[in-house]
Structure 1
């Protein structure tokens, strides 16, 4: 009986350790700065659209946030316009009461994109993880851009986004955009992204 109790406690400890191991690297990691060409190259899809649903839950005891985007355009050309795209990202939206007096704290780690219903976004989606199927944006929060008042900007105010980009095949309008700090015109931005994505397919 004592052996069974020990094994049960050991298995619980291992499960907790595994969950922490999954969350810790994401929250503790230092993000590598990616420019627009690198974000485009690392993306499976580049979705311009509106966030229409955000929920959370558990999948095989793994916490996730599920996001649905109404697709206006996919610069990679793999998704149909006016379709929807749903993915699950690691971590809950907020801490959750487990109904036993305990609160589960496994929220979306720092460095990951955060999602809100009604946002107009340009999401550079990285491929899903092979084991969990979880997915996030390329470059983590760097790959999620919010469109406001015709301007597009990521969580880091587009810092480093236009550094070391090949400008040999871009228009004067696009070249001017590269020198602007902060938010940039969404139409010019998407024209450049479409051009980059077309050249990388």
Structure 2
């Protein structure tokens, strides 16, 4: 009888987790595409720096991933250079054994940015949620860019990043960047971000 009860509970837990996974996948597929101007406008901070620590845990029974970035610069000018920035995003890094025969499956949902120690990133950070304090990149994974070999790229290969933007005040180099999708030079990218951020303050 006890074994049947345990199997039933496990089945219910897996069903709930599967439903959660499908719901988050559906939400990821419905992710609203945002261009660079929209990401800049939606961001509280735009941090260029290195991810130096990634951990996970629970806060009031809510699963989170905690990320710390060593800040090189903030295009919004709100954070000091050479400071650190720590935030918590919803979801664990991976399923976790609860020590009672149960496994908690509430990992970071599809569509959210994934963070790894040692990455050099440009993170467009949305303001923290009022109730939980949890924070995500603006546009979800669209707002986290990895810097590699002098170029920046988000999880979606920068698709749609420059769509519907007014280029009349941009330099030739910036226009060239906008018309050639894919990885773009970090210096030109950050110059454009700085220009956009300055125009929105």
- TM class by shorter chain equals 0.7 to 0.9
Q: Does 1:102 align with 2:102?
A: yes
SS at match of 2:166: coil
Counterpart of 2:85 in structure 1 is 85
Supply the distance in 1 between the matched residues of 2:62 and 2:20 (Cα, whole angstroms). Answer: 9
Q: Paired residue for 2:26, among 19, 25, 28?
A: 28
Counterpart of 2:178 in structure 1 is 178
Q: Does 1:193 align with 2:193?
A: yes
Q: Does 1:129 align with 2:135?
A: no
Counterpart of 2:5 in structure 1 is none
Shift of 1:142: 0.3
Supply the distance in 1 between the matched residues of 2:113 and 2:103 (Cα, whole angstroms). Answer: 23
1:38-187 mapped onto 2 (5 Å cutoff): 38-187=38-187
TM-score normalised by structure 2 residue count? 0.88
Shift of 1:179: 1.3
Shift of 1:31: 0.4
The aligned length equals: 186
TM-score normalised by structure 1 residue count? 0.88
Shift of 1:141: 0.3
Supply the distance in 2 between the matched residues of 1:167 and 1:137 (Cα, whole angstroms). Answer: 25
For 1:45-73, what per-residue CA distance to the aligned partner results, in whole angstroms no more than 9, with x for missing partners? 00000000000000000000000000001
Q: Which runs of 5+ in 2 are unaligned?
A: 1-11
Shift of 1:26: 4.3
Supply the distance in 1 between the matched residues of 2:79 and 2:62 (Cα, whole angstroms). Answer: 28
Supply the distance in 2 between the matched residues of 1:88 and 1:188 (Cα, whole angstroms). Answer: 30
Q: Which runs of 5+ in 1 are unaligned?
A: 1-12
Q: 1:23 to 1:90 in 2, by over 3 A?
A: farther
- Segments of 4+ in structure 1 off by > 3 A? 19-27
RMSD of aligned residue pairs (Cα, Å): 2.0
